Amino acid sequence: MKLTVIGSGYVGLVTGTCFAESGNEVTCVDIDQAKVDRLRAGEIPIYEPGLSDLVRRNTATGRLTFTTDLAEPAGQADVIFLAVGTPMSEDGSADLSALWAVADQLAPHVHPETIVITKSTVPVGTNQQLYGRLKQATGFHCRVASNPEFLKEGAAIADFTKPDRVVVGVRDEADAEVLRRLYSPFLRTDKPFLVMSPESAELTKYVANALLATKISFINQMANVCEAFEADINDVRRGIGHDSRIGFAFLFPGVGYGGSCFPKDVRALSTTFEQSGLQPRILEAVDWVNEQQKLVLQNKIEDYFEGRLEDRRIAVWGLAFKPRTDDIREAPALVLIRRLLQLGARVRVHDPEAMANVREEFGDQIEYGRDPMETLQDADALAIMTEWQEFQTPDLFEMQTRMAQPVIFDGRNLYDPKEMGNAGFFYHSIGRPTTSPELVS
């Protein structure tokens, strides 16, 4: 099948590459000439495990090409995926200006047989508006569909090629069959192909992310009450997670969620409620709790040093909003760094993949460690913000030797408090009692 993917960001690049890998002829279109040139040369502008090898292989075979010219690939495509950004507006709603601009540019080149599919995350009703816009511009009935993505950064290739489910929103069963054939190589283990209306498909994406965000905010708020009564949130988490109705997924306490999806999708769905005359009470609470949770670790640090952080050296491990990505959008680490700088602290950071992005944000205001241990040199405290694998089992003796003070603020609960106390650390985590060396027998 001949496919055109408009937008070569995270979703568009993964989508186009995986469809090329399954034997389709895919053209990815992007307005950024520099990005297109890099992709043609096999350079990937984002970090996503496994993606660079797939891009290079499919580019070499000719199944995957990149261009800034929309007209030719759009005119030849059987299916066109719209994967442009839909960022959050000032009022919390999704900004669809890029989507409408692409639709207007696309209209002169589509044929009645072409299926135009929204892959971007869009508010309910967008597909119907897209149909009306294309019909008005072309004068004929346009085939439009919705196919939301459910890709986790850091595991996107596996999520695309081995999906839990594929959701498509269509008006015509014939369009569903085209998409069923397109996705069939990835559904050989009988994972469900779910056909519904475009409105249901659009809401499915938002509702899924909102529910996952709700679980995160819920366990974080429970962690805070555990601290108030010296209970252990990990014990509580195990106590509820073995209930088959609840499970363990997304019930890990921390310093809040970030990234490009959960924050904007929760707020966009809240806006949808308000536009419908409904009150998004749960969604508002989820967002509020998350923003407060991003302050928890900085409050612990300020309390420990009694607010006197001027010229204190604070090391930060982890900058990306989650491991296996270089994405720092809405990352809790950035909130912490800004506050530490405001209080006059000297900040040195390390992250396996996100250093370049953070350097663009902070420049020379902070220092950049080549590795975790160098980052600790002469530090008065360590703050852990992202649960990268390489932080899981550090050399505790070397940490003690490097640091000016053995103080750790663990925002991801990576370590056992008793072990850290026995190793001589003042150890602060989320939803668990603080451990001091003298309190460990």
- Dist CA 73 CA 80 (whole Å): 9
How many domains does the structure of the chain reveal? 3
Q: Are residues 366 and 412 in the same domain?
A: yes
Q: Are residues 179 and 229 in the same domain?
A: no
Find how far residue 43's CA is from the centre of its chain: 21
DSSP classification of residue 186 = G
Looking at 293, 315, 336, which one is the last position of a domain? 293
DSSP classification of residue 248 = S
Q: What are the tens digits of pLDDT across the range 134-151?
A: 999 999 999 999 999 999
Q: What are the tens digits of pLDDT across the range 86-126?
A: 999 988 899 999 999 999 999 999 999 999 999 999 999 99
Mean pLDDT of 29-50: 94
Q: Are residues 247 and 100 in the same domain?
A: no
The 3 state secondary structure assigned to 43-59 is CCCCCCCCHHHHHHHHH
Q: Are residues 229 and 106 in the same domain?
A: no
Q: What are the tens digits of pLDDT across the range 285-327?
A: 999 999 999 999 999 999 999 999 999 999 999 999 999 999 9
Per DSSP bridges, beta strands 193-196 and 313-317 are: unpaired
Full residue range of the structural domain in which residue 23 is found = 2-196
Mean pLDDT of 53-76: 96
As given in the structure block, the two tokens for residue 152 are: 């986790």
Is 139 among the domain residues?
yes
Per-residue model confidence (pLDDT) at position 76: 95
Is 272 among the domain residues?
yes
Looking at 293, 324, 357, which one is the last position of a domain? 293
Is 315 among the domain residues?
yes
H or E stretch at 18: helix 10-21
Q: Are residues 20 and 158 in the same domain?
A: yes
Q: Are residues 213 and 182 in the same domain?
A: no
Q: Are residues 399 and 313 in the same domain?
A: yes
Per-residue model confidence (pLDDT) at position 374: 97
Give the residue carrying structure tokens 């692409």. Answer: 102
Per-residue model confidence (pLDDT) at position 295: 98
CATH number at residue 377: 3.40.50.720
Q: Which of 18, 142, 226, 261 is catalytic?
A: 261
* Longest CA pairwise span in the chain (Å): 80
Mean pLDDT of 247-270: 96
With CA atoms as reference, report the closest residue to 163 among 175, 148, 173.
148
Q: Are residues 125 and 256 in the same domain?
A: no
Is 429 among the domain residues?
yes
Q: What are the tens digits of pLDDT across the range 223-241?
A: 999 999 999 999 999 999 9
As given in the structure block, the two tokens for residue 31 are: 């307005």
CA distances, 308 to each of 45, 203, 314, 435 (Å): 40, 48, 12, 22
Find how far residue 302's CA is from the centre of its chain: 29
Per-residue model confidence (pLDDT) at position 413: 98
The alpha-carbon radius of gyration of the chain (Å, integer) is: 24
For 74, the 3-state DSSP assignment is: helix
Q: Which pTM does this prediction carry?
A: 0.94
CB contact at 8 A, 411 and 233: no
Q: What are the tens digits of pLDDT across the range 271-282?
A: 999 999 999 999
Is 201 among the domain residues?
no
Tell me if residue 261 is catalytic: yes
- Dist CA 403 CA 314 (whole Å): 10
Is 26 among the domain residues?
yes
With CA atoms as reference, report the closest residue to 237 among 209, 218, 210.
218
CATH number at residue 223: 1.10.1040.10
Find how far residue 145's CA is from the centre of its chain: 24
Looking at 251, 266, 293, which one is the last position of a domain? 293
Q: Are residues 71 and 183 in the same domain?
A: yes
Per-residue model confidence (pLDDT) at position 439: 58
Q: Are residues 362 and 420 in the same domain?
A: yes
Q: In the predicted model, is pLDDT for residue 441 greater than 50?
A: no
Q: Are residues 262 and 365 in the same domain?
A: no
Those residues with Cβ within 8 angstroms of residue 392's Cβ, 6 or more apart along the chain or in another chain: 414
Q: Are residues 342 and 279 in the same domain?
A: no
With CA atoms as reference, report the closest residue to 293 among 254, 323, 331, 329.
254
